[in-house]
Amino acid sequence: MSNSRVDLKTGNIRSHLIRLTIPMIWGIAAMVSFQLVDTYYVSLLGTRELAAMSFTFPVTFFVFSLIMGFGVAMSSVVSRLIGEGLEQDVKRVTTHGMILVFGFGLILAVIGYTLRDTIFAAMGADAEMRPLIHDYMTIWFFGVPFMATPFVGNSAIRAAGSTFAPAVIMVSVALFNAALAPLLVFGMLGLPRLELQGAAIATVLANIVAMVAGLYILGAKKKMLLPLSAMHMHAFGNSAKRLLFIGLPVGLTAGIGPFVNTIIIGLLAGYGAESVAAFGVATRVEAFSFILLMALAVGMSPIIGQNFGAKDFTRVNRTIRDAIGFSVLWSIGTAVLLIALAEPIAKLFSDDPIVVYYTKMYFLIVPASYLFSNLVNGWGSAFNAMGKPQMSVIMTVVKMLLLLIPGVIIGAKLGGVMGIFTALAIVNVVTGLGFHVWSRRVCAKLESNLALKTP
């Protein structure tokens, strides 16, 4: 197997950032577009359907967070095995990882399907809303294994040095989903009108296509899968242990955000389906607007990791400075655009005046805090790259569990929907400023410790 590692310890840092970030933009955009496209088409069905779709977001993102943990684990383990030249172990871990994540997806599907009514009732969905939610989620849960497998498979492909192939796969299936969804949602070209069920079916079929394409590239092109006649299942436990050791803590930490969103949606449900629908629209648009920053977080990680390993803290600091500097500029620009275009964006997804009102309210309050919230995200990615995930966990737990949950509860009591949105913004500002100062001090201490250990 050819070694496709790139030396990031030399050369222009900004050039490295650009080269590593651009391919990720397309892949992340494709993933985010799945729910944005579904949200748009479902919004044309009516406010209750849009609200039902919004109830699903925290649950689907919690599941995706767990799967993302396996993706991070696969990338970490496989890339290190490639670097060590252990070709057979690469094939073993990749093959067993595909089996493991498909099985994990099946378990999540069964649990989700069994508890779906309990979950959404606890989130505040009323008896009339839950059948609409079940129309989408029953099918979506069935498709979890088919979503998990290509995502983790693409992580293995990236670990082998190819960022182009995973991006092509995800963009292609995103276009497939965008084309198929309206046909099934509205019953075009002689197909039955399936509404929410149609959106879910389109997503599942697109993920099946992605899974087939990903497995083909892994097996036929990259030669990273074992043949069926020699699966080495006696070593499955070892492969699973290596992946679960990283995947479970990363996935559970990433799942804190969606968990907190279930609480926020539960609070909003007390003010009507319109506020839930508006929150769903706003957060989907928000996610789409930060695709570039998500890609940058992925792109800067190997640069920081290699230079941290080489004890070159000058390049580590420069990478963090450049990445955070760009994040600040992008956050300010995004905030200005969303505030200026709040009403047109809201009306694009709904003609219900109450939904439009709450969507505008969100965009007039929360974007002003993007600058600070993205500081936390940037530092979290940097610490993960330096092999210090506990720092990222501390920031996530403090922000989401210790501050945001009490904040939105107090905000709801004091100011209703506006109070909830205001609490989001205040917590973003407080944690962004606080953790930026704290992170700089932690980095200085890490640099000092590295200097003492250097002979």
Query: How far apart, in whole angstroms, are the C-alpha atoms of residue 301 and residue 157?
Result: 17
Instruction: Out of 248, 268, 295, pick the residue that ends a domain.
Output: 248
Instruction: Kindly calculate the radius of gyration of the chain based on its CA atoms and give it in whole angstroms.
Output: 22
Q: Give per-residue pLDDT as tens, 406-422.
A: 999 999 999 999 999 99
Number of domains in the chain: 2
* Percent of the chain at pLDDT exceeding 70: 96
- Asked, for residue 280, whether it belongs to a domain, the answer is yes
Alpha helices by DSSP H, listed for 160-289, are: 164-186, 196-216, 236-254, 256-269, 273-289
Contact (Cβ atoms closer than 8 angstroms) between residue 37 and residue 181? yes
Answer yes or no: do 223 and 269 share one domain.
no
Instruction: Out of 248, 282, 300, pick the residue that ends a domain.
Output: 248
Q: How confident is the model at residue 181 (pLDDT cuts 50, 70, 90)?
A: very high
Residue 353: which domain range? 255-455
Answer yes or no: do 153 and 284 share one domain.
no
- Asked, for residue 5, whether it belongs to a domain, the answer is no
* Percent of the chain at pLDDT exceeding 90: 50
Q: Give per-residue pLDDT as tens, 199-222.
A: 999 999 999 999 999 999 988 888
- Asked, for residue 133, whether it belongs to a domain, the answer is yes
pLDDT at 307 over 50: yes
Q: How confident is the model at residue 26 (pLDDT cuts 50, 70, 90)?
A: confident
Query: How far apart, in whole angstroms, are the C-alpha atoms of residue 108 and residue 84?
Result: 34
Answer yes or no: do 109 and 161 share one domain.
yes
Answer yes or no: do 59 and 205 share one domain.
yes
Query: How far apart, in whole angstroms, are the C-alpha atoms of residue 370 and residue 75?
Result: 29
Instruction: Decide: helix, strand or coil at residue 60.
Output: helix
| The predicted structure's pLDDT at residue 54 | 86
Distances (CA, A) of 220 to 79, 216, 225, 236: 19, 5, 8, 22
| The predicted structure's pLDDT at residue 455 | 55
Answer yes or no: do 61 and 210 share one domain.
yes
Q: Give per-residue pLDDT as tens, 158-179.
A: 777 677 788 888 888 989 999 9
Query: How far apart, in whole angstroms, are the C-alpha atoms of residue 128 and residue 123?
Result: 14
pLDDT at 3 over 50: no
Instruction: Out of 248, 271, 305, pick the residue that ends a domain.
Output: 248
- Asked, for residue 2, whether it belongs to a domain, the answer is no
- Asked, for residue 409, whether it belongs to a domain, the answer is yes
Answer yes or no: do 145 and 202 share one domain.
yes
pLDDT at 225 over 90: no
Answer yes or no: do 313 and 436 share one domain.
yes
pLDDT at 180 over 80: yes
- Asked, for residue 157, whether it belongs to a domain, the answer is yes
Instruction: Decide: helix, strand or coil at residue 2.
Output: coil
| The predicted structure's pLDDT at residue 4 | 44
Query: How far apart, in whole angstroms, are the C-alpha atoms of residue 454 and residue 435?
Result: 28
- Asked, for residue 4, whether it belongs to a domain, the answer is no
Distances (CA, A) of 154 to 228, 340, 368: 20, 37, 35
Q: 36: which residues sit within 8 A by CB, 6+ positions away?
A: 284, 285, 287, 288
- Of 78 and 198, which is predicted with more confidence? 198
- Asked, for residue 1, whether it belongs to a domain, the answer is no
Answer yes or no: do 405 and 444 share one domain.
yes
Answer yes or no: do 269 and 242 share one domain.
no
Instruction: Decide: helix, strand or coil at residue 110.
Output: helix
Answer yes or no: do 218 and 341 share one domain.
no
In 3D, which of 298, 301, 294, 295 has the Cα closest to residue 319? Answer: 301
Give me the phi and psi of 236, to 5 degrees please. -60, -40
Query: How far apart, in whole angstroms, are the C-alpha atoms of residue 162 and residue 20?
Result: 11
Answer yes or no: do 426 and 329 share one domain.
yes
| The predicted structure's pLDDT at residue 35 | 77
Q: Which two tokens stand for residue 235?
A: 């070593």
The rounded mean pLDDT for the chain is 88
| The predicted structure's pLDDT at residue 344 | 95
The amino acid at 172: S
- Of 309 and 17, which is predicted with more confidence? 17
Q: Quick one: angle between helices 47-83 and 353-365, nearest 10?
A: 40
Query: How far apart, in whole angstroms, are the C-alpha atoms of residue 56 and residue 262?
Result: 9
In 3D, which of 189, 164, 169 has the Cα closest to residue 179? Answer: 189
Query: How far apart, in whole angstroms, are the C-alpha atoms of residue 45 and residue 30?
Result: 23
Highest mean pLDDT pick, 79-93, 214-228, 413-427: 413-427
Contact (Cβ atoms closer than 8 angstroms) between residue 245 and residue 93? no
Answer yes or no: do 295 and 223 share one domain.
no
Contact (Cβ atoms closer than 8 angstroms) between residue 367 and residue 339? yes
